[in-house]
Amino acid sequence: MAHEQSHTLEIQGEEILSLESLKEESTSDVTLLSEVDQDGGVFYSYHLDDSEQVTVVWCADGDETTSVGDKSWVKYAPARRFAPLELEMLWAIPQNWTRQYFVEDGFDTAQGIYTVDGDHSIVEDVAVHVRFRDEQLPNKKPFEVMKVGTLSYTPDSDIRQIVQFNKIYNTAHHLKIDVEDEVDDLLRDLYRSSDRFELNYVGELSIMLEDAVHDMYQPPNAELPSFIVTPINEPDFIHGVIQNVTGSTYDEEVRKSAIDVLHSEGVISREHPVRISINSFDEYPDRLYHIMAIIEAGYTPSQTIDYVMTEKSGFAQVEWAAVRSVSQSTVSSNAAEVRQNMFHHKI
């Protein structure tokens, strides 16, 4: 394939050099990025500090000094990527991706959410959901890009189940004899302003959930039980919500007593499940993003432009071939090279 380049350091004759040998042979620092078990062998990923590539080695039985052949091989991947695409397959995780969260899901696959670092991306704050495909046969790209977009923290339930406003009136009405007059007045005010209370509560809750997840799991490289977690939420943010809704007419102790009533009566909850996910781009910003992504992956300019113009821009292969003054078979071959080898399946 056009995007796989030869390299001399990692292979000496027909022998794959060990990490120790690489360090002895190289004039730059060599880092073992990852070592991942797979049926029948092990994936090793190396990086040389002065290289624009990551070297990926698969060795049968985990023997990293074995000979290159049917049981072992070497591939090369870009060290940095700024414009990933959904369904893209990767030999290795790029150096400029930071793993924020990961989940060992129990099905011989590991999933991770990464953020893309660097100032060369067409889109800012790109996040990527990646799955390691352990069921793949050797000599297949092991990483699948599942989603590309922005990192999101959202309540994993209907907000009206979290804030049960229909209970506010009943709470205020039935508990008057059990609470101080000011607390009862505050509960009634919240009922009368339930729409504003909901709007403020939801907005503050979304901010608080992200902070709560960060406080509890301490990313980057935080291991999660799943991508739905339930951090322990302190009720302090509700004081601000009440002040926004009712003004500053109630002091802190009255607000605290009202919050305790709302919690005890199930009107609001102290804990909220939150889903950590990627909000996929509805569409990539423009054709330039696709061009950048495919060039980054190592394909030639001809392969890239023929794929983008015929697969993403609506040109028939015959029409685009005429524009380029090449044969239709040339355009078809170039587009197929990207479509068949870059992605898990056609997109």
pLDDT digits (tens, 9 = 90+) for 232-253: 666 677 888 888 888 778 888 8
Cα–Cα distance between 324 and 328 in angstroms, integer?
10
Dist CA 158 CA 198 (whole Å): 12
Q: What is the pLDDT of residues 5-15, one digit of tens each?
A: 333 334 444 44
Q: pTM here? A: 0.72
Answer yes or no: is pLDDT of 81 > 90.
Answer: no
8 A C-beta contact, residue 113 and residue 278: yes
Confidence of residue 328 (pLDDT cuts 50, 70, 90): very high
Look up residue 320 and give its amino acid. Answer: W
Q: How confident is the model over 283-317, as pLDDT tens digits? A: 665 678 888 888 888 899 999 999 999 988 889 99
The structural domains of the chain, with segments of one domain joined by +, span: 1-79, 158-208+231-270, 299-342
Residue 319's pLDDT is 94
Buried b (16+ CB within 10 A) or exposed e, 78-87: bbbbbbbbbe
